[in-house]
Homo-oligomer: A and B are copies of this chain.
Amino acid sequence: MQYRFKNARILTMEEGRQIFKGEVWVSDDKISFVGTDSEAEQRLSEISCSWDREIDCAGDLIMPGFKDAHTHSAMTLMRSRADDLPLDEWLNKQIFPVEAHMTGEDCYHLTRLAVLEYLTSGITAIFEMYLTPETIAAACRDTGMRCVQTGCYNSFMQSAELVEDMYNKLNSPEDPLNTYILGFHAEYTSSPEVIDKMAALAHKYQAPVYTHLAETAAETKGCVERYGMSPVKYLSSRGIFDYGGGGYHMVHVSEDDMEIIKEKGLYVVTNPGSNSKLASGIAPISDYMKHDIPVAIGTDGPASNNALDMFREMFLVTALGKLREEDASAIDAMEVLKMATVNGARSMGLEDCDCLAEGKQADMIRIDLHQPNMQPINNIAKNIVYSGSKQNVKMTMIRGVIRYEDGVFNIGDDPENIYRQAELIKERIDKTLV
């Protein structure tokens, strides 16, 4: 399909480029033009163009879609099932028993439920870690969501063989929506053997590795007790990060850890909603920024967050950062937008989805500025981070396909069918657990 978005404000997220008025053209899966109105006019006089659809944006903003850089999508099943509980009770009495009964087919339907929500929040790619990679990939392929998966291998589930198998299988050019990055669940769930096997894979493929890292004070303390080192230092010492990668959460780190993170070129994926709701703490985002360590943003899974809402996460990144530093000027809105788009894309290996430019993938969103929370237009970037909400997402496009527009989904199935599947799964597992 050929699209022309005209009469738009455009935030490309290219370094140093301000918002301008102009046009974005899409040809199949790629952006074929981004420029000002006069540049568009110039281009139109040079070449002949025809569009399947011309969209008058009425001054709305076109920008890159958000990258949700840490998800466990099929945990939609446990949304609002286990809240307001201490962390150990949440995990051991509520989450693990349910997960024990989840099938690959369950994960397929429940991931599709999450995709619906991602689309409402302008999310065009997810960095996913969960139980059954192949059915998760199928769910994303069928709904049109871009999905970068990583392993949740640990001493109790998955295997180095599965991780390697998925790494080879899910990076096929035949399925451009799905890719796979090496990863494992966490230090605290993994024996030294697991960790050594992962390090061996990193070396074999000269590839980055991702994992849950320094999420809670107890995790960091436990690792020090086990190995005399912080999780960051311990995993680095085993060679896990010799080809880069990163960590999810990274709330409890030391100044020494910062140096290692910087030296290894790691990405920090922060999850402020989940870290608040589970009372895990506030990540030192300002410190990461001072060290020039790139930060991306993820929602984590809906069992711990419970929303899959990048607007909420963006506000929390800066609001919690301001509280932590006791400084209202900490973490500027534009930095947050960079985390939610450019840094997210790069952490996921999606270099062609980081900003809007000719030849890049057409993963973009339209933000409705004709809503009261966006008025008056003093500063659009700050509006998005400080007063934006899902209600402002007028359109979500992935690989040149509009998957959500004016509240209507285009994901190959009726949302009500997906809701019904989720209810059936819930009822089946509830019966088993009684």
| Interface residue ranges, A against B (CB under 8 Å) | 76-81, 83-87, 90, 113-114, 116-117, 120, 273, 276-279, 281-282, 302, 305-309, 311-312, 315-316, 318-320, 322-323, 325-333, 370-373, 375-380, 382-383, 386-391, 415-416, 418-419, 422-423, 425-426
Contact A383-B80, Cβ < 8 Å, known A415-B370, A419-B376, A426-B378: yes
Contact A371-B120, Cβ < 8 Å, known A79-B387, A422-B376: yes
- Bound Cα distance A5, B77 (Å): 29
Residues of B within 8 A of A379 (CB): 80-81, 83
Interface class of chain A by DSSP:
helix
Contact between A76 and B376, CB atoms less than 8 A apart: yes
Contact A386-B322, Cβ < 8 Å, known A372-B120, A376-B426: no
User: What residue in chain B is nearest A393 (Cβ atoms)?
Assistant: B391
Distance from A45 Cβ to chain B, minimum over Cβ atoms (Å)? 33
Contact between A387 and B305, CB atoms less than 8 A apart: yes
Contact between B279 and A330, CB atoms less than 8 A apart: yes
- Bound Cα distance A326, B273 (Å): 14
Choice from B114, B305, B373 contacting A307 with Cβ under 8 Å = B373
Residues of B within 8 A of A331 (CB): 84
Distance from A313 Cβ to chain B, minimum over Cβ atoms (Å)? 11
Nearest 4 interchain pairs by C-beta: A116-B372, A276-B319, A80-B382, A117-B372
CB-defined A-B contacts under 8 Å, sample of 30? A77-B376, A79-B383, A80-B380, A80-B383, A81-B379, A83-B382, A85-B329, A86-B327, A90-B328, A273-B319, A276-B320, A276-B323, A277-B319, A277-B386, A278-B328, A279-B330, A281-B326, A305-B386, A307-B373, A307-B386, A307-B387, A309-B373, A309-B387, A309-B389, A312-B312, A320-B323, A370-B416, A370-B419, A373-B390, A376-B422
User: What residue in chain B is nearest A282 (Cβ atoms)?
Assistant: B323
Residues of B within 8 A of A80 (CB): 378-380, 382-383, 386-387
User: What residue in chain B is nearest A281 (Cβ atoms)?
Assistant: B323
Q: Which residue, A77, A116, A329, A380, has most C-beta atoms of chain B within 10 A?
A: A329
Contact A376-B117, Cβ < 8 Å, known A90-B328, A279-B325: no
